[in-house]
Structure 1
Amino acid sequence: MSDTDQGPETISVLLVDDHQMFAQSLARLLGDEPDIEVLGIVSEAADAVANVAKHAPRVVLVDYQMPGRDGVAIAGDIKAAHPDTMVVMLTGSADDRILLAAIEVGCSGFLTKDRAADEVASAVRAAAAGEALVSPALLARLLPRLNRNYHEIGSDLTDREREILGLLARGWANPVIAKHLHLSVNTIRNYVQSILTKLGAHSKLEAVATGVRERIIDYPVDD
């Protein structure tokens, strides 16, 4: 692939973390990746939204334990002001309460700090592509606990789109869904994009969370 082809694929990232050594370490790791550009490190919660507006990153990594405001509140502010920006929560542990709150405000998922060094680049790429950074098993545990309020969102989803949304809720990737439904991966990708558009979602995880919250789909889904 030529440099011209690679250019548009560059993923811009902003780090929101007051632990400078940790943040700088992640920035160096990401900076070594040819398809990722680190735009900067924000150490103050109050500056997060302004810096997202200034730098327009595709992905923001937000530490949960920020002074003044926690990462969920910061992520919620970012998503409210810039819904197309993908936010990944950095946590010290996989606490269900934190992860559920992160899903509720529109995060693409989470990355625990003990795995960050090994997985941060792949997590950024997945978030940029709209993928859910939550394992199917964890998704199954968290989704039934989402707040559920019906607002008639998604009433224009087709039967096929509802079916695919249900399969996304199982944590299935596009190729798995394509094989199951005997359709091409491109067709599934188009269906997923239509689902996101109709639900006003910006990632698969946000679409699934909206689907469960608004009672468009039930969870768990029986095989």
Structure 2
Amino acid sequence: MARSKEIVPGVGRLSRSKVFSRRGLFKGPKKSEKPAAAEVAATKEVPVKGDKNGGKRIVPTSKASRFYPAEDVRVPKKSRKSPKPAKLRSSITPGTVLILLAGRFRGKRVVFLKQLESGLLLVTGPFKVNGVPLRRVNQAYVIATSTKVDLGEFKVDEKINDAYFVKPSAKGPRSAEAEFFSEGKPKKEAFPESKSADQKAVDSAVLAAIKKTEYLSKYLKASWGLSKGQFPHQLNF
């Protein structure tokens, strides 16, 4: 009998967690690179002080807590999984024009530059063409087109990585009273000039490659969308 009989093709009768518990793989040997910790004895022998004593007695190594919870406390299970970056689709190569399907710039066409360590894609509009700056996007929310921009030997500076896009955390007042007596919400800082220079440096190389192909700039500037009766799986990009 199968462990998870299908209700309909592709839909199992049992959930993933139920199948996992039935298989019992979690009971198998667990490998670890860390050296095994030395076992501590549950009891120890201590001398009994005093003139009339002078003997020894056995006491527990760790003293039991005086208090205990009235109900069972659930302990979360430790995960041994380590996240790995997603494999890049074969249709996405440096210079490929992508269509964004989600986010603030959905419907815009952008140029793919490289894949970051996190697995996210680094893209640019360029900003001067359609207003899309250097951004990180998930490849699950893009459509790769057959149009490509010949970037040649151009490579993005290594400093533009995942840490480059991390925003500084600004702590505000914790309560409404503190916010009332404060001077108001902190003003947003101006866009850093260093990042503006990085944007111009990347876009200058991309724009030079775009100008080599006629009407490519207008193609990137035009937004994409579906008309009535159109289906994305029936279109060729």
Q: Which band: TM-score by shorter chain? A: under 0.3
Q: Taking structure 1 as the reference length, what is the TM-score of the superposition?
A: 0.21
Q: Which has the larger radius of gyration?
A: 2
Q: Taking structure 2 as the reference length, what is the TM-score of the superposition?
A: 0.20
As a proportion of its length, which structure holds more strand? Answer: 2
Structure with bigger RCO (C-alpha 8 Å, 6+ apart) = 1
